Structure 1
Amino acid sequence: MAGNILEPVTLAGRHARLVPLSADQLEGLKQASADGELHRLWYTSVAAPERMEAEIARRLALHKAGSMLPFTVLDAEGHVAGMTTYMNIDLVHRRVEIGSTWYARRVQRSGLNTECKLMLLTHAFETLDCIAVEFRTHRLNTQSRRAIERLGAQLDGILRAHQRTADGHLRDTCVYSITAAEWPTIKAHLQWQLEKPRD
């Protein structure tokens, strides 16, 4: 029987742990956001440290409304390293998007992101019985696009002039997905990525 997509859960691995988002994590999230000044990247929307309290409240309200399951990302030492979510939850067709993800600079280009995606995808397909998982990003966010493609996700298409960014620019959104039928091969690929020596 498929699990409840909206039920808070903790997912644990060697490099990272995903725990339900809580207002108690405010200070750690502010510090993680400040590491690399991620809020200054024009093509993404990471809350600045002074806006983090409002961002936590926004995500928790979306969870209460039934459209998001937000997580705080902890590194191997248990320090706050970022945020991620299941979002755009479709309970009828059992589809989710993994998104609104950001990491402190200190954990970027490490095994943490790969393991977080492996845990989220495993939970989505093997516990929640999802038929597909989406990833979306700005067409010009090449770092994010490369990371999504390394997961093995396929580009479904580009939504041109899809929405406006915080500064008013029009955003073209790249939509990627992994389907349930592809999951066993993708899982083996991600496990191999985590085991191979890193450069």
Structure 2
Amino acid sequence: MTAKLPAPVLLTGRHVRLEPLTRAHVPDLFAAGGGDEEVWRWIPVPVPRTEAEMAAVVDARLADRTSTPFAVVERAGGRAVGVSCYFDASAAEEQLEIGGTWYGRAVWRTAVNTEAKLLLLGHAFEDLGMGRVYWKTDHLNERSQNAIRRLGASYEGTFRRAKRRADGSWRDSVYFSMLADEWPAARARLTERLAAG
């Protein structure tokens, strides 16, 4: 199967729906995480403290041609509670990054992230034909690193002084990946975790 580049698509699970990000999501996203220092601690943009600043964050994401951004909508309430994206997809190299992820604190440690990643990984491997999906995160962001490991991803290495943070300091980027032949076992574990509650 030849890999395909991602395009805006609707991905639906039991707990969440991933839909193409638009400006219409801004009010929900601001209600979910606007002004929350902890939510934005590791995101390389200034904390959006007004709805207009959240709109600017969304506009920047929509303008990024390397990104396919999704609003993560909690199905129970029908409100967007965060964002996750595909980045730097290559059909020739059969790989893409999952990143730019943030969620309002109210849905931390719930089924939201697990199911969102299950949907994104399933679409990447099964529909787009990717052979490798990868993540990168700030070396100080242990919560994100642990969440990525729980998905079944493998640590690949650390790129030193790789990216500037919003405050101007430099971070090292920790890389993880999952390969297509590792996906079936990871899918089974994630599906079991969701079923367990």
User: Which TM-score applies when normalising by structure 1?
Assistant: 0.90
Query: 1:49 and 1:29 mapped to 2: Cα distance?
Result: 12
1:165-197 per-position Cα deviation (integer Å, ceiling 9, x unaligned): 111111011000000011111111111111124
Query: 1:60 and 1:115 mapped to 2: Cα distance?
Result: 23
- Identify the residue that residue 44 of structure 1 maps to in structure 2: 43
Task: State the SS of the aligned residue for 2:124.
Answer: helix
Q: 1:40 to 1:23 in 2, by over 3 A?
A: closer
Which structure 1 residue ranges, 4+ long, deviate > 6 Å from structure 2? none
Moved more, 139-148 or 88-97: 88-97
- Identify the residue that residue 25 of structure 2 maps to in structure 1: 25
Q: State the identity %.
A: 38
Per-residue deviation, 1:57: 1.2
1:16-74 per-position Cα deviation (integer Å, ceiling 9, x unaligned): 11000111111111111227444552x33365143211111111112xx3x11000010
- Kept in 1: contact 2:3–2:91 (CA 8 A): no
- Identify the residue that residue 63 of structure 2 maps to in structure 1: 61
Q: Which runs of 5+ in 1 are unaligned?
A: none
- Kept in 2: contact 1:11–1:18 (CA 8 A): yes
Task: State the SS of the aligned residue for 2:28.
Answer: helix
- Kept in 2: contact 1:44–1:138 (CA 8 A): no
Counterparts of residues 100-179 of structure 1 (less than 5 Å): 100-179=100-179
- Kept in 2: contact 1:12–1:18 (CA 8 A): yes
Q: Which runs of 5+ in 2 are unaligned?
A: none
Q: 1:125 to 1:73 in 2, by over 3 A?
A: same
1:84-120 per-position Cα deviation (integer Å, ceiling 9, x unaligned): 1001222321211110000001111001100000000
Cα root mean square deviation, aligned: 1.7
User: Which TM-score applies when normalising by structure 2?
Assistant: 0.91
Letter in 2 for 1:56: V
Query: 1:195 and 1:153 mapped to 2: Cα distance?
Result: 20
Query: 2:83 and 2:176 mapped to 1: Cα distance?
Result: 20
Letter in 1 for 2:71: T
